[in-house]
Structures are given as C-alpha cells and as structure tokens.
Structure 1
Amino acid sequence: MADASDTLVARSAWQTRVPVRFSHCDPAGIVYFARYFDLLNGVVEDWFCQGLGIDYHEMIGPRRTGLGFASAGAEFVKPGFMGDCLDCTVLVDRIGRSSLTFHIHATRAEEPILTARFVMVTTSLETHRSVPLPDDLRAALERYWKICQ
C-alpha cells in the first residue's frame, strides 16, 4: 500500500491536473496552505466519480452517506504558485470497516509539491454515526487498490 514517503506513485493510479488559481493564493502569489485542502477535496470528488465510478454527490445527497474526514494532514515540500498546474495522484493505503486511508501526491512537472494524507469515514447523515462502507464503494476501492499495485 502507499506510503507518505514514497516519491514514486503507481503509474496505473488515477491522476488529475489541477490549476492553481488567483483565489488559492496569498498576496505573495503562493498557495495559502488552508486552500490546499479545498483544492484537494475537489480532487477527491473527481476521483470518486472518474477513478472509482461512484457518484460522490449521489452518495451524500440521495444516499445520505457522509464522506467526512476524521484526519487530514499534509507535508509541503515546495511552494505552489499562481499559474501552476499540479498533477494529483490518489493512492489508497487502507480500507477499513467504515473508513479508508489514502494519500494524494501533488507534483509540478514531476517535482514533488506536497503529499496529503486523509482518513475518510462513512457516516449516516441521519444519525451522524459511522456506518460500514457501502458495498459498491468497498468493491470500487478494492478494484482500484489492486490496479495500483
């Protein structure tokens, strides 16, 4: 499974390119660290839909399954700047009963910029308690994990 210190990521892992916009930056034109988490949440939404084949918005809306973060952290290797395009790759570390742990590696022209680690927990949006990963999500995560090996 993925490790935060890995500098190489699986070639078969899902990847997306994210532009760094004016709104992501502080007055010096450097990505403000808190904005990275908003930017990375967009990566997670896209990964669900494009990489896993799971409709993120349907999961939260009609299915009423929360996809919240119990833990989120990042190691910032180099600053990101307005106008950069970051290539973000998602790697799954662990699939639990009601949670999953994954990393997002962000690079600029193959230069490491940051590695973020997330623990996502599935919850009932009615009771606000953890629930087992839905079967379709678990199956998609297991398929994804296997192709990234």
Structure 2
Amino acid sequence: MLYTRKQKIKFKHCDPAGIVFYPRYFEMINDTVEAWFDEALELSFATIHPDHGVPTGEIQTRFTAPSRLGDVLNISLEIQRIGTASLGLHLEAECEGEARFMTSLTLVYVDAQGKSEPWPDALRARILSDMEKNQ
C-alpha cells in the first residue's frame, strides 16, 4: 500500500459491547484520507477548504472482523485511479495480521458551491507522483 497510519482503538470508538461501533470506522477512514493529503500530498484540508473541498461521492465497505478497545489498526491507503475531478482510493485495516475492514471510495474535487471541477494541475501532479511510487 502507498500510505499507512496507525489508529489505536479508544473508548470513544466502542459500543457497550466493547467493539468498534461501525460509523466510527468511517471517521477513521476520513482521518486517514485527511492525513494522507497532509503528509503525502503536502496539502492540508485546512488549506483546501476555504474555497474547495474533497467530499466522498461514493463509499463501499466490507467489515471482516471486530476491533476492540486497545487494538491498534494499521490502516493503509492506495490510489486506484484519478479522473478529471474524481479520485478512487482503496483502504484496508488490519490488526496483528487480521483484516478488519476494506473500503473503496471516490473523492470529488469541488468548488465552494459543491460543483465538481478538475483537480488543480499541481495537486494532480502530486497524486500522479504518489501513484507512480506504488507501481
């Protein structure tokens, strides 16, 4: 995978049964995407968001095993494709070699009114560079 970050499962992530409440995984997914933009692409969401955004247009997730309080997930992100205004990503989470979830999502680059527009040339070049590193 192209980019990996660790996520410790905290009490706030868990339901009364002591396992991750599934909507919390979507927060972790977004945290990973945001960290990737910040660290790998060197463009923080705070810089993008005054005039643009990168909302999720589609997401598909498969949960394969529960995560519990104290577990440390390794969440990996890989670029699948880049379109004119969209970006396909694949993320996987594992803990001690056991898969926890897999997700595919599409981000869309939008203006302040939420209308899609092409990726800026400099950002597209950074994304393409990251794609090439993985091949």
Q: Mark yes or no: TM-score above 0.5.
A: yes
Structure 1 unaligned blocks of 5 or more:
1-9
Q: Deviations over 1:34-84 (max 9, x none)?
A: 1110121111110111122222210112xx111101101211111111111
Amino acid at match of 1:80: S
TM-score by length of 1: 0.86
Paired with 2:69 and 2:103, the residues of 1 have a C-alpha distance of 20
1:1-149 counterparts in 2 under 5 A?
10=1, 13-61=2-50, 64-125=51-112, 127-149=113-135
Amino acid at match of 2:117: V
TM-score by length of 2: 0.95
Paired with 2:61 and 2:122, the residues of 1 have a C-alpha distance of 28
Q: Deviations over 1:87-117 (max 9, x none)?
A: 0111011100000010111110222111111
Paired with 2:83 and 2:98, the residues of 1 have a C-alpha distance of 31
3-state DSSP class of the match of 1:137? Answer: helix
Q: Which residue of 2 aligns with 1:5?
A: none
Structure 1 stretches of 4+ moved >6 Å: none
Percentage identity across paired residues of the two chains: 30
Structure 2 unaligned blocks of 5 or more:
none
* CA RMSD after TM alignment: 1.0
Amino acid at match of 1:32: F
Size of the aligned set, in residue pairs, is: 135
